[in-house]
């Protein structure tokens, strides 16, 4: 009986210990132009993975709501992150671009803005998560 209680205590302790390191990221995305399709979010952890579809840390998607779409991503450990967002209006689950690679759908980044000749760098978009975090992002049409 004593071993059972000790084991139960250990399980509860480990669950609490590891559970405290996980946070929720709440995103309010303003400037969503229509209710068509989805608003898609990609979360990156560093410059080496930034904007590489095969190296996304976490993804999320919600049905687009004209004006403002709210997305929540759970289970994010503390650290530095950057967010890239696009409005997949046609619902094909990819960012449509023209022949030069310029996005044809609305995009946005945490903090950073598109430059004349390309997207911002990770460092320009990065923010820290140390607890549950809420940020507001404006879509670029």
17 assigned to some structural domain: no
- CATH number of the domain that residue 30 is part of: 2.60.40
HSE-up (13 A, CA, CB side) for residue 92: 7
Question: Average per-residue pLDDT in the chain?
Answer: 87
**Residue 1 domain flag:** no
- The model's confidence at residue 115, banded by pLDDT at 50, 70 and 90, is confident
Report if residue 2 sits inside a domain: no
The C-alpha angle 69, 72, 75, rounded to 5 degrees, equals 165
Q: Which residues pair with 129 in a beta bridge?
A: 79
- Contact predicate 29/71, CB 8 Å: yes
Residue 14's pLDDT band (cuts 50, 70, 90): very low
Its domain, for residue 79, covers 23-138
Domain count, the chain: 1
The Cβ of residue 124 has, within 10 Å, a number of other Cβ atoms equal to 15
pLDDT of amino acid 71: 97
Quote the pTM value.
0.81
């Amino acid at each position: 009986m004593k071993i059972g209680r000790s084991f139960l205590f250990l399980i509860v302790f480990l669950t609490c210990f590891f559970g405290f390191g996980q946070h929720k990221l709440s995103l309010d995305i303003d400037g969503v132009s229509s209710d068509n399709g989805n608003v898609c979010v990609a979360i990156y952890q560093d410059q080496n993975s930034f904007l590489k579809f095969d190296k996304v840390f976490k993804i999320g998607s919600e049905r687009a709501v004209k004006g403002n779409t709210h997305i929540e991503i759970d289970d994010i450990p503390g650290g530095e992150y950057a967010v890239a967002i696009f409005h997949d209006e046609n619902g094909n689950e990819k960012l449509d671009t023209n022949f030069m690679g310029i996005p044809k759908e609305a995009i946005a980044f945490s903090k950073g803005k598109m430059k004349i000749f390309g997207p911002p760098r990770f460092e320009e978009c990065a923010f820290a998560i140390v607890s549950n975090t809420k940020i507001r992002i404006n879509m670029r049409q």
